[in-house]
A and B are shown apart, each in its own frame.
Chain A
Amino acid sequence: MTDLTRLTAHEMADRLRAGDVSSRELTEAHLDVAERQNHGLNAWLSIDRERALAEADAADERLRSARDARTSASSELHPMLGIPVALKDLVSVAGGQCTAGSRILDGYRAPYDAHITEQLRRVGAVILGKTNMDEFAMGSSTEHSGFGPTANPWALDRVPGGSSGGSAAAVAAFHAPISIGTDTGGSIRQPAALTGIVGMKPTYGRVSRYGIVAFASSLDQIGPFARDVRDAAALLHAVAGRDERDSTSSPEPVPEGLLALAASDDEAATSLRGKRLGLPREYFVAGMEPGVEARVREGVAALEGAGAIVEEVSLPHTEYGLATYYIVAPAEASANLARYDGIRYGRRLGEGRDVLGDYLATRGMGFGPEVKRRVMLGTYALSAGYYDAYYLKAQKVRTLIKGDFDALWADGFDALVAPTSPTVAFRFGARLEDPVSMYLSDACTLPVNMAGLPGISIPTGLSDGLPVGLQLIGAPWSEARLLELARGYEAITATAEWRTIEPTDLAALDEPGTPTPAERLASMAAVDR
């Protein structure tokens, strides 16, 4: 019998429509493996079997009545109907936990559904549970979670990237075919690269953030993870679109092309012909691993082989991206996180004698070290006497960074092609002691957030047995074209040997006595000292 967890979402959708499998069977298969393996992976912060099965039964009912109607009713069903999905634990699901990876939200229950939760319910997707993440999405390794790190299914002693590491690991380990993440400086694309899957950050404003725990409001955007491009596109289609409760969500129509990507590899490959792609030289940064650069350059050569025109280009302000980002994002975070005061929601620590004392205790003990660091940085950058030197300066440099990209779109480039992460997945603890080395993980992704652009990371082979991601960056609102190009790349590499290799450590997750990621991190930190 086929292992149902190995199917892509569109394969599941085909079988659901044909009546070969039920959503309940799909859901149970994924819940079983997720519950069994979470001890060693820690990708999930909560799994709600009862709710998921109820949603699956409702999806099966919709499928059944569409089949009974015998008309074209089933063609009107969304491809996400009955498909299991994982949500990063900062997406509100009414009545469910929503920790954002922080102990300060331990015990909090979301009073309402996020917009994207409503959208997923509307199309009939099945929410399996909530995934681990760096606290308030601040981090590039998921080691900053208040609930222990997540392991990478390719090597259990390494990080899955972050901040959406749980959503990425869950999809890479076949615990779910698709999942939702958020990307503020690379938090979807970088973990997608490090776990060998597809991850897309859409244009700023493409997806409503109503009901999502905010980190940096001028940068945050929601997006999909999947094991292939068509699934990522279909999930984006389900959640995208204008919502009046998020005033930054755009009235730009959701392209129906997201559901029309070529199924045949031959057809998909033709979409690359004649496309003009820029290769930004600044993205081959110092400290990039030779194996990563080799895979990326091979990917570029493959694109050229398929008829794309690749030209080296310059994004001259790239080197200022990191400093700009690490002023703007913490500044916005320090304002957004002021709401965690222990009064209206979240844990309250302290003695209850005076409000200031309770604030200090609640926030001092409730937040983890990286969140405190960023709140400190942001508060400083916005404080009297430093605002012009830091925050205003960073916003001006942001204009220059965005201008670099705008010039290339004006020049007629269809997209840019670049590495996603300068390195493969690193070992637990390797970057924890030096925040600046952790921040460098996002050097190739955060300029895209600064400019509000869509970007996608797609697998492009292995280096020393660990996945490497290829990043495609597009002009605002060009998701459909970007996904078409990504689908083209997937098609021309469809028969590559590395595509047949599954994450190396999946079997180890089933071994009794497998250590938890927290235990691995503790033992490796001990070795380092």
Chain B
Amino acid sequence: MATLSRADVEHVAHLARLGLTEEELARLEGQLNHILDQYAILATVPTDHIAPTAQTIELENILREDTTRPSLPVEAVLANAADTDGSFIVVPPILGSE
């Protein structure tokens, strides 16, 4: 199975939106490769004709009436946001911030 290079670790950290220090990246490179070594055993299991299991109980789709219901008050929803303005959540610039 694959081995992760330092560049791979940096790439995955970026995908995961984790800002990691040099020290963390170095430590993770070793640890992730050690863990991936343990995964190698799975390649030995024949699974060509086996269906994947995503969840274990056989529930059919569960539907409910599509009716409006009271939701949480705006103040309650916004109470945990880091930055708000009236009934809005303030987000840092997404475009043109470079």
A residues sitting closer than 8 Å to B (CB atoms) are 108-109, 111-112, 203-205, 218, 244, 247-248, 250, 317, 319-320, 322-324, 326-327, 334, 338, 341-348, 350, 352-361, 363-365, 367, 369, 372-373, 375-377, 379-380, 383, 386, 389-390, 392-400, 402, 435-436, 439, 450-453, 476
B54 within 8 A of A: yes
Scoring A111, A247, A450 by chain B CB atoms within 10 A of each residue's CB, the highest score goes to: A111
A-B pairs, 4 with minimum CB distance: A452-B56, A364-B19, A360-B19, A395-B52
> How many angstroms between the C-alpha atoms of A379 and B8 in the bound complex?
12
**Contact between A244 and B12, CB atoms less than 8 A apart:** no
Contact yes or no, A326 B38, CB < 8 A: yes
In the complex, how many angstroms separate the beta carbon of A391 from the nearest chain B beta carbon? 9
Q: Are B39 and A380 in contact (CB under 8 A)?
A: no
Interface contact A320-B52, CB-CB below 8 Å = no
Beta-carbon nearest neighbor of B39 in chain A: A323
B68 is an interface residue with CB less than 8 A from chain A: no
CB distance from B13 to the nearest CB of A (A): 7
Q: Does B91 contact A (CB under 8 A)?
A: yes
Contact present for A327 and B39 (CB under 8 Å): yes
A449 to chain B, nearest CB (A): 9
- Specify which of B1, B39, B62, B89 is in contact with A247 (CB 8 Å cutoff): B62
List, sorted by A's number, 15 A–B pairs whose CB atoms are closer than 8 Å: A111-B72, A111-B80, A218-B56, A248-B55, A248-B59, A250-B57, A250-B59, A320-B45, A338-B17, A345-B80, A354-B93, A363-B18, A372-B18, A393-B47, A400-B47
Partner of B79, one of A109, A218, A386: A109
CB contact between B9 and one of A324, A338, A369, A376 (< 8 Å): that residue: A376
B32 touches A373 (CB 8 A): yes
Q: Are A394 and B79 in contact (CB under 8 A)?
A: no
Residue from A248, A348, A380 with most neighbouring chain B CB atoms (10 Å): A380
Residue of A nearest to B73 (CB): A111
Contact across chains for B81 and A344 when beta carbons are under 8 A apart: yes
Q: From residue 6 to 24 of chain B, which have CB atoms closer than 8 A to chain A?
A: 8-9, 12-13, 15-21, 24
Chain A, residue nearest B64 (CB) = A244
Q: Supply 14 further A-B pairs (C-beta < 8 A) apart from A342-B82, A364-B20.
A: A112-B72, A218-B55, A326-B38, A326-B39, A341-B17, A348-B83, A359-B17, A373-B35, A376-B16, A383-B12, A383-B15, A392-B52, A400-B50, A435-B35
Task: Kindly list chain A residues whose C-beta atoms are within 8 Å of the C-beta of B1.
Answer: 389
B45 contact set on A, CB distance < 8 A: 317, 320, 393, 396-397, 400
**Residue in chain A with minimal CB distance to B38:** A323
CB contacts under 8 Å to A, within B59-93, are: 59, 62, 64, 72, 76-77, 79-83, 89, 91-93
The minimal Cβ–Cβ distance linking B81 to chain A, given in whole angstroms, is 6
Q: Are B51 and A205 in contact (CB under 8 A)?
A: no
A352-B92, A390-B39, A393-B42 known; A248+B18 contact, CB < 8 A: no
Evaluate contact between A319 and B41: CB separation under 8 angstroms. yes
Residues of A within 8 A of B83 (CB): 348, 352
Interface of A: prevailing SS = helix
| B88–chain A nearest beta-carbon distance, Å | 11
Please indicate the chain B residues that have their CB under 8 angstroms from the CB of A402 in the complex.
53, 56
User: Closest residue of chain A to B27, judged by CB?
Assistant: A369
Contact of B18 among A204, A360, A386, A395 (CB under 8 A): A360
Which of B2, B47, B89 contacts A386 (CB under 8 A)? B2
Give the complex CA separation of A355 and B94 in angstroms: 5
Q: B80 and A343: CB pair below 8 A?
A: no
Q: Are B42 and A345 in contact (CB under 8 A)?
A: no
**Assembly CA distance A377 to B36 (angstroms):** 9
CB distance from A475 to the nearest CB of B (A): 12
Q: Are A397 and B47 in contact (CB under 8 A)?
A: yes
Determine the chain B residues whose CB is within 8 A of the CB of A435 once the complex forms: 31, 34-35
Cβ-closest chain A residue relative to B41:
A323
For B75, give the chain A residue with the smallest CB separation: A111
Asked if A399 and B52 sit within 8 Å, CB to CB, the answer is yes
Determine if B80 and A344 form an interchain contact, defined as CB atoms under 8 angstroms apart: yes
A392, B52: Cα distance in complex, Å? 7
> In the complex, what residues of A have CB within 8 A of residue B8's CB?
380
**A342-B82, A363-B17, A375-B16 known; A244 vs B62 contact (CB < 8 Å):** yes
When distances are taken between beta carbons in the complex, the residues of chain B under 8 Å from A247 are: 59, 62
Q: Check A399 against B50 for contact (C-beta < 8 Å).
A: yes
Q: Is the CB of B38 within 8 A of A377?
A: no
Complexed CA–CA distance, A52 and B6 (Å): 51
Asked if residues B42 and A367 are in contact (CB atoms below 8 Å), the reply is no
Contacts of A393 in B (CB 8 A): 42-43, 45, 47
Nearest Cβ in chain A — how far from B69, in angstroms?
11
Q: Report Cα–Cα, A389/B9, bound state, in Å.
A: 18
In the bound complex, CA of A342 to CA of B12 (Å): 20
A394-B55 contact given A354-B92, A363-B19, A375-B16, CB 8 Å threshold: no
Contact of A399 among B18, B51, B64, B77 (CB under 8 A): B51
Contact with A334, one of B16, B43, B54, B55 (Cβ below 8 angstroms):
B16
Chain B nearest CB: distance from A461 CB in Å? 32
User: Given contacts A358-B92, A379-B12, A400-B45, is CB(A343)–CB(B81) below 8 Å?
Assistant: yes
Chain A residues positioned under 8 Å from B39 (CB to CB): 323, 326-327, 390
Chain A residues with CB under 8 Å of B38's CB are 322-323, 326, 436, 439
